Amino acid sequence: MSHSHSSTQNLRGLVLVASTRAAAGEYEDTSGPLLRTWLQERGFSTPEPIVVADADIAAAVAKIFAQSENLPDVLLTTGGTGITSDDRTVEAVLPYIDTMLPGIAQAFWNKGLESIDTAVVSRCVAGIHADKTFVMTLPGSRGGCRDGVAVLDPLISHIMNLVAGNPTHHESQQHHHCCSHSGPDPDYVQAQVGKIIDGFITEEPLEALVHNARSQVFTDAMGAVVTFDGIVRDHDGGQRVKHLTYSAHPTAEAELHKVLAEQIKNHPDARVWAAHRVGKLQVGEAAFIVIAAAAHRQAAFSAASAIADAVKAHVPIWKEQLMADGSTQWVGV
């Protein structure tokens, strides 16, 4: 191998999105930009994501790998990893993977299972092409891509060094340790985490509740507080939205409590609070808020993200969208 890099400097990333709706301009893909941002933050020069229809993914993959002198160091795909006849990304990528990395795919599934039981249905594959390019196929959802990033973040520098023929395990460990804490937390910290501060559904504006909620979640032992705000946006599926009306099943609050109980088992180093609003909401209002605190930032980020995904997947709350053209759409029914 002629490549000789020992860090992510001067490396190139590429993101390929398989989405028929996004390619047709009917839907704004957000998973590709998420992956691009992560690659850029890790030092990879990464252009705007390439978006193609599901039917065109094989041709797009072939075109990328045909440029043997201009291969990216990392290729991440999003979309087309499901089990329908339209999901063709895995079949398009597999012929180009010379060295499979099944452990990375397994780690991705394990990460997804922290939030949703159906994560294993995604046909994730990962491997190396031509002793040069690391390839991984991810789902088209932001949650799935976040799980992929969580798995790859501590590994990508080490993978790049191994591909280059420079196995710098010590350097990888140094990078990890510089961003983490050393030694266990004191017992009094452990006594404060693994707790659900509150979880409920309300017609009250959530913005008025955040300050008090944050003060309940935070303690002097917490080094990070992460807040997720789910905001009503002015568009969906390529159409303008005027306002939303959320409805909840009578069991919704009980289901919310179940989700929080399950997630706090998966994220025992966090303190969490969550609330979902029902009723009529205008564009710009908060519909769903999660607050997670932990002694260290990764635990807080992971808990907030997992709870947001799990609530959306499992709590029976639906929204009726009034579109700008006067039509209505039900989502989540």
Could you tell me whether strands 235-236 and 239-248 are parallel, antiparallel, or unpaired per DSSP bridges?
Answer: antiparallel
Place of tokens 């395990």: 169
List of E strands, the chain:
13-18, 50-52, 74-78, 99-100, 126-129, 133-138, 195-202, 224-231, 235-236, 239-248, 270-277, 279-282, 286-294, 317-323, 328-331
Count the Cβ atoms, other than its own, within 10 Å of residue 93. 26
**Confidence at 170, pLDDT banded by 50, 70, 90:** very low
pLDDT digits (tens, 9 = 90+) for 125-149: 999 999 999 999 999 998 899 999 9
HSE-CB for 21 with a 13 A CA cutoff? 12
Interior CA angle at 262 toward 217 and 176, to 5°?
70
The pTM score is 0.52
Mean pLDDT within 170-183: 46
**Confidence at 9, pLDDT banded by 50, 70, 90:** low
**Confidence at 100, pLDDT banded by 50, 70, 90:** very high
Which CATH architecture best describes the domain 188-331? Alpha-Beta Complex (3.90)
CA gap 160, 138 in Å, rounded: 19
pLDDT at 234 exceeding the cut of 60 = yes
pLDDT score, position 27: 84
Mean pLDDT within 294-316: 91
One-letter amino acid for residue 179 of the chain:
C
Report the share of the chain in percent with pLDDT over 90: 73
Report the share of the chain in percent with pLDDT over 70: 91
Q: Residue ranges per domain, the chain?
A: 13-178, 188-331
pLDDT digits (tens, 9 = 90+) for 58-67: 999 999 999 8
CATH topology of domain 13-178: Molybdenum Cofactor Biosythetic Enzyme; Chain A (3.40.980)
Do the Cβ atoms of 220 and 298 come closer than 8 Å?
no
pLDDT at 173 exceeding the cut of 60 = no
pLDDT score, position 2: 38
Higher pLDDT pick, 183 / 66 = 66
Among 20-29, 243-252, 274-283, the least confident range:
20-29
Higher pLDDT pick, 331 / 307 = 307
Q: Do domains 13-178 and 188-331 have the same CATH topology?
A: no
